[in-house]
Amino acid sequence: MSDLLSPASLESARDAALAAFAAAGSLDALAAARTAHVGDRSLVAQARKAIGGLPGPEKAEAGKRVNVVAQAVSAALEARRVELEVERDERVLVEEAVDVTVLPPRPVGARHPLTTVSDRVADVFVAMGWEVAEGPEVEHEWFNFDALNFGGDHPAREMQDTLFVEPAGSGLVLRTHTSPVQVRSLLTRELPVYVVCPGRVYRADALDATHSPVFAQVEGLCVDEGITMAHLRGTLDHLATAMFGEGITTRIRPNYFPFTEPSAELDLQCFRCRGASAEPGGEPCRVCSSEGWIEWGGCGMVNPAVLRACGVDPERYSGFAFGMGLDRTLMFRHGITDIRDFYEGDQRFTLALGQEA
C-alpha cells in the first residue's frame, strides 16, 4: 500500500490542513491554504490518485479513508471561510461607517425679506377675495406705456428713465412699473376684476440710499360697477393697517399719472411719530423728517382711456388702481435707511429680516 494512503499519513495530512485553515487570518490567506491542502498537488489529492494503483480488495477500504479525510478537510475549510467572511463584514461596517454627527453645521437660509413682504401684501388682498396676477419683466412697450395712455413723447419713455431691450426697435423694455399687469389682467379676465400684482421692476435710476435700478412694486386693480374713490381710500387704509398696525392713516394728494384720472400720491402717516413731529412743539422725527407723512406710492381712478384700450365699457364700469414700492414699505416698517441692503446679498440682513418682513 502506498504510504500516502496509510491511516497515519492521511490523518497527518488532515491535521496539517485543519491547522493551516485555523491559522489563516484572512480570506486571501485561506485561499492560499486551500490550494496547498485541497488543490491538485495536495496530499489528499495525491492519495486519491494513488487509490487507482491498489489491488481490488484494498481499493474500497482506502477510498473510504481518503473520503473521510477529504470531507473533514472541506468541512473545516468551509467553516473557516464563513468565520472569516463574518469577521470581514463586521470590520467593513466599523471601518467604513459614516459618522453623520461630525458634518460641519449647515448654514440656515431664509426667504428674502422682499419675498416675505410681497407674500404678506398679497395675503391681505387674497383674504378679501382678490386674485394674484403676474406679468413678464421683459415687457412690450404697448403694455408698459401705450395701453396705459402714455403719449408717444412722454418723458418716461426716454433712455434716461427706461431700460430698453436690444435690438433697438424690438419694442421690448424692462417693465418700469407693475401697471402693465393691469392691462394684461383686464384683457384676459372676466369682469369684475380684483387683482393684486407684486413684482420686480427696472428703471435707469442711479443707485443711492433710497433708489435702486431694480426694485419691487405691488399693484392693485379693481374694476367693477359703481367703484368710487371712497373704495380706493378704504382699501388703502386697510392695507396700511395690515402693514403698519392699527391707527395708521393714509393721505392722498393730487398728482398726475396718464393711466389714472384723477390721480393721487399716496402718503402714509409716519408710523414712528404718527404725525406728532409735525405738530407745534413736537419731537423731531428722523423717519419722516418731521413732516408727519411719508410718500408710499401712486393711485387713482382707472382712466377711461385705459378701460377702452382693454375693451372695457367705461360707461358701465369704473375702477381704481394703486402701486407702491415694496422696498420702501419694508424700509418704513423696519427703519432701514439704505435700500442697497436689499440687493447686496448679505445673509445676516436676510436672516434678520427674512421671516418677519
Distance CA 101, CA 336 (A): 39
DSSP string, 250-317: EEEEEEEETTEEEEEEEEEE-TTTTTGGGSTTPPP-TTTTTSSEEEEEEEEEEPHHHHHHTT--TTT-
Task: Please state, in angstroms and rounded to a whole number, the distance separating the CA atoms of residues 290 and 294.
Answer: 10
Question: Rounded to the nearest whole angstrom, what is the least distance from the CB of residue 292 to ligand FA5 in the complex?
Answer: 17
Segment interacting with ligand FA5 (CB under 6 A) among 94-102, 131-139, 214-222, 309-317: 214-222
Residue type, 195: V
Pick one of 11, 119, 146, 295: the residue that binds ligand FA5 (CB under 6 A): 295
Figure out which of the listed residues 21, 215, 332, 342 binds ligand FA5, where binding follows CB under 6 A.
215
Residue 217 in the binding site for ligand FA5 (CB under 6 A) = yes
- Provide, rounded to whole angstroms, the least separation between the CB of residue 277 and ligand FA5: 21
Smallest distance from ligand FA5 to CB 244, Å:
14
> Within 10 Å of residue 104's Cβ, how many Cβ atoms?
5
Cβ proximity of 337 and 209 under 8 Å: yes
* 17 vs 236, beta carbon nearer ligand FA5: 236
**Measured from the CB atom, is 215 or 271 closer to ligand FA5?**
215
The verdict on 332 binding ligand FA5 (CB under 6 A) reads no
d(CA 122, CA 105): 35
- Residue 272: what residue type? R
CB 257 within 8 A of CB 300: yes
Contacts (CB under 6 A) with ligand FA5, residues 224-263: 257, 260, 263
Q: How many CA atoms lie within 13 A of 178 on its CB side?
A: 28
141 makes contact with ligand FA5 (CB under 6 A) = no
Q: Is 157 in the site for ligand FA5 (CB under 6 A)?
A: no
Least Cβ distance, residue 167 to ligand FA5 (angstroms):
26
Applying CB under 6 A, which part among 116-124, 138-146, 277-285, 298-306 lies near ligand FA5? Answer: 298-306
List 267, 323, 342, 350, residue binding ligand FA5 (CB under 6 A): 323
Burial tier of 246 (Cβ tally within 10 Å: 0-12, 13-18, 19+): exposed
**E-strand spans in the chain?**
131-132, 138-140, 172-174, 193-202, 214-224, 250-257, 260-269, 293-302, 318-325
Q: Is-contact 160 275, C-beta < 8 A?
A: no
**What is the size of the binding site for ligand FA5 (CB under 6 A)?**
25
113 prior amide bond cis, ω within 30: no
Q: Is residue 180 part of the contact set for ligand FA5 (CB under 6 A)? A: no
Name the one range near ligand FA5 by CB under 6 A: 10-18, 99-107, 205-213, 341-349.
205-213
The pairing of strands 318-325 and 214-224 is antiparallel
Note whether 199 binds ligand FA5 by CB under 6 A.
no
The reply to whether 297 sits near ligand FA5 by the rule CB under 6 A is yes
328 in contact with ligand FA5 (CB under 6 A): yes
Q: Which of 4, 243, 268, 299 binds ligand FA5 (CB under 6 A)?
A: 299
Verify binding: residue 146, ligand FA5, rule CB under 6 A. no
Q: Which stretch binds ligand FA5 (CB under 6 A): 13-21, 99-107, 277-285, 321-329?
A: 321-329
Nearest 10 degrees: Cα torsion 90, 95, 100, 105: 170
Please report, as ranges, the residues that interact with ligand FA5 according to CB under 6 A: 177, 179, 203, 205, 211-212, 215, 217, 219, 257, 260, 263, 295, 297-300, 321-325, 327-328, 339
